[in-house]
Amino acid sequence: MSQAPLFSSAGELANLVVTSNLIDVAWANIPEIQRGPAAIPCSVQPMVYLPTRNRTIVVFASSTNFTQYPLPEVGDLVQSSLFQFLCPKECPSVSINGAALVLFKSLESQLYGLKTKLSEREGQLIITGHSLGGSVAALFTLYLLDSMDKKRKCRPICITFGSPLIGDFDLQHSQWNSFFLHVVSNKDPVPGLFLPSSRSPPTSSHSQTSVYKPFGTYLLCSEHGCACFDDPDLILKILTVASSEVSGEVQVVDYGEILRNLKNSAICKERWQVGFADPFSDGIVMELKTIGIDPAKHNIDISGMEKAARSLTKKTKASEAKKLNDRKKTMAQLEWYKKKAEDEKKGYYDCFRNEDQTRHVKVQELMAELTTYWEDMVAEAERKPQKEGTSFRTGWLFAGTTYRRIVEPLDIADFYKDGGRDYINSKRSQHYKLLEQWYKEAPKPPTREDLDSKKKKVSVLLTEDSCFWAHVEEAILSCQSLTNANSTTPEQRESSWDNLVMFGEYVMKQIENCAVSPEIFLSGSSFMTWWGEYKAYIDNFRNFFSSRLVEYMKRGSYNQYG
């Protein structure tokens, strides 16, 4: 089947923004403040407007004076712990433009109060600002997003006009990206100010400036029209081209005038003549030319963009649901494997560990499929800002926990079968660790199951600690080190004994909490093997030793478990 043609909707999205009154509303109060007495040189003040009951507008205005000279010497990036929450776990730090950060910090206590007040408002929240005021508006929006919970009453959007780039962080994998709209004219030098090829005078740490990253959607405009893009690399390129072509004199760009012109030209026929060979490339060439970029001259890789757009299969709810459903099918198969093993009076752990592997090729395929899926899910959650990652994963954490409890024992079996030692510290995969950590952090339902009802259901429970079998394997190794007195030192034997005592306590706690599956007591299980060896050792060498587990096992109480 031939591929369905792609389209570029950059022009249509821009047209929607320009013809709607959203952007006028965002701009409306800025000129007035900049002219008015409230304008304090070299600072930014937030002003709150409540035009209707369910709309709040916060304007970060700066004096015109300040707009004209946005302090190029503070184009440096400064590491900021205040915005540390922006970085996903895998990246160590976040740097923010120095000027914007200084302004933000000077307002911090005021903004804290504003944040609290805004969190009680319902409806639409528009946060806006011009030039460096826009930078502060964006920082404030991020600050606000981090403190909002998922069921927030008000929806924010941040609209900046001619603002310079803010920092080195990347929101491409975050939903937060969609809350930002940056309006930039190709006549405005400010947005490209901190870019390396910009004609602005070199700053003290010029090499550093190249790590600025755009985020959100850019509404790029020229006298011919406008287009919306959200690909950071493309935006960087366009900003660089635009700032290198801005005429020598720095002039104040009147965004009000630009918006009026764009509105008028929105219902005019545009002048570009294009062919219709390929709707995507024709469309995007037209859109780029509209905003004053010649793709051929500026070396913009259109076919690369098309490839990227095509590979970026839109994540639909349908496809996500289908994927999770497919994993459920795989899990059902593994659960059945587990049940069959129990029917044969063997635990699935030992079936998998001790029997001929050719029987288990299918199981290994299932494991591999699940592991790939969950590693991806965990990685995706890790790429988001911390707060957002948390809410993203609550949706599937339950399924992830079941996965961990069923599949990790099989990984452990593989590891010890091949003679491995110390699984938990030397081999355990990161995604298991995170899944476990998140499960522990996740809020539990208020009505916790009482132990009695849990006892009744224990036969269908999964062992809660997915590393249980690793502890068992270590205990077996400890037993062996005790019995093979010839090949071990007294110190080693001492520490082995300590381990075994600790293991006994651990197991007893699991049993009392009904946290282990009764399958561990099946006669052929590794746990029972361990018990046999352990009992023999105690009987021979430590006749007087006893512990709660030893008594429990000797009495045969486990027959009543489950």
Partner 1 sequence: MGETVGKLIGLNDEVIIPTASLAMEAHNSPSKPFLMKKIKIRHDHLSVVVLAFRGSMLPNDWFGQPPFGERKFRSLTSLNDGGDAVINGSFFQRFNTVLDQSSLVKEVKKAIAKEKQVIFSGYSSAGPIAILATLYFLENPEPNQILPPRCLTFGSPLFGDRIFGHALRREGWSDYFTHFVMKYDIIPRIMLSPSSTEHEQILNYFKSKFDGKNINPALPSGFYLTVMGNASSVASYEACHLMGCRNPSLDIIKSFIELSPYRPSGTYVFCTGNGNLVVVKNPNAVLQILIHCAELGESDTAEVEKRSLDEHSAYLSELKECLGIQAVVSLNGGPATATWNDLGLSPKAMLCLQSAEEFENGRSRNQDQIRKNKGKIEVELGKMRKYKENSEIRRVGYYDSFKLQNEDDDFHANVSRLELAGIWDEIEEMLKEFEVPDDFERKKEFIDIGTEYRRLVEPLDIANFYRHSKDKETGAYMIISKARPDRYLFIQRWLEHHEKKPFGSLSESCFWGEVEQLCIDIKKRGYLQQIEERIQQVERNLIAWIGDRSLDDDVLLENSTFVKWWRHLPPQHKSESDRIEKLIGERESCWSINQIRTGIIWHCDRTVT
Distance of CA 94 to the CA centre of its chain: 15
Measured from the CB atom, is 204 or 318 closer to partner 1? 318
Which residue type is seen at 424?
I
Residue with tokens 């429970």: 461
- Separation of alpha carbons 129 and 29, rounded Å: 10
Report the nearest approach of partner 1 to the CB of residue 309 (Å): 7
Measured from the CB atom, is 82 or 331 closer to partner 1? 331
Report the nearest approach of partner 1 to the CB of residue 230 (Å): 5
Please write down the HEC assignment for all residues of 199-245.
CCCCCCCHHHHHHCECCCEEEEECCCCEEEECCHHHHHHHHHHHHHH
Measured from the CB atom, is 305 or 549 closer to partner 1? 305
Measured from the CB atom, is 322 or 417 closer to partner 1? 322
- Measure the CA angle with vertex 311, ends 310 and 314; round to 5°: 80
Report the nearest approach of partner 1 to the CB of residue 261 (Å): 12
Answer for the pair 99, 132: CB distance below 8 angstroms, yes or no.
yes
Residues paired with residue 219 on neighbouring β-strands, in sequence order: 183, 228
Give the three-state DSSP class for 79.
strand
* φ and ψ of 557, to 5 deg: -60, -25
Phi and psi based region of residue 455 (left: phi greater than 0; alpha: psi -120 to 50; beta: remaining): alpha
Report the nearest approach of partner 1 to the CB of residue 20 (Å): 4
Report the nearest approach of partner 1 to the CB of residue 346 (Å): 17
Measured from the CB atom, is 454 or 493 closer to partner 1? 454
Report the nearest approach of partner 1 to the CB of residue 243 (Å): 23
Measured from the CB atom, is 66 or 161 closer to partner 1? 161
Report the nearest approach of partner 1 to the CB of residue 471 (Å): 29
Residues that bind partner 1 (CB under 8 A): 4-9, 11-13, 15-17, 19-22, 124, 126, 155, 157, 175, 177-181, 216-217, 228, 230, 263-264, 266-270, 272-274, 276, 279, 282-283, 286, 309, 312, 314, 316-318, 321-322, 325-326, 328-329, 332-333, 336, 339, 445
Measured from the CB atom, is 2 or 543 closer to partner 1? 2
Measured from the CB atom, is 179 or 374 closer to partner 1? 179
Task: Count CB atoms within 10 A of the CB of residue 322.
Answer: 11
Report the nearest approach of partner 1 to the CB of residue 372 (Å): 18
| Among 137, 142, 139, residue whose Cα is nearest residue 127 | 137
Measured from the CB atom, is 296 or 318 closer to partner 1? 318
Give the three-state DSSP class for 156.
strand
Report the nearest approach of partner 1 to the CB of residue 163 (Å): 16
Contacts of 82 (CB under 8 A, 6+ apart): 101, 104, 105
- Separation of alpha carbons 165 and 482, rounded Å: 65
- Separation of alpha carbons 226 and 214, rounded Å: 18
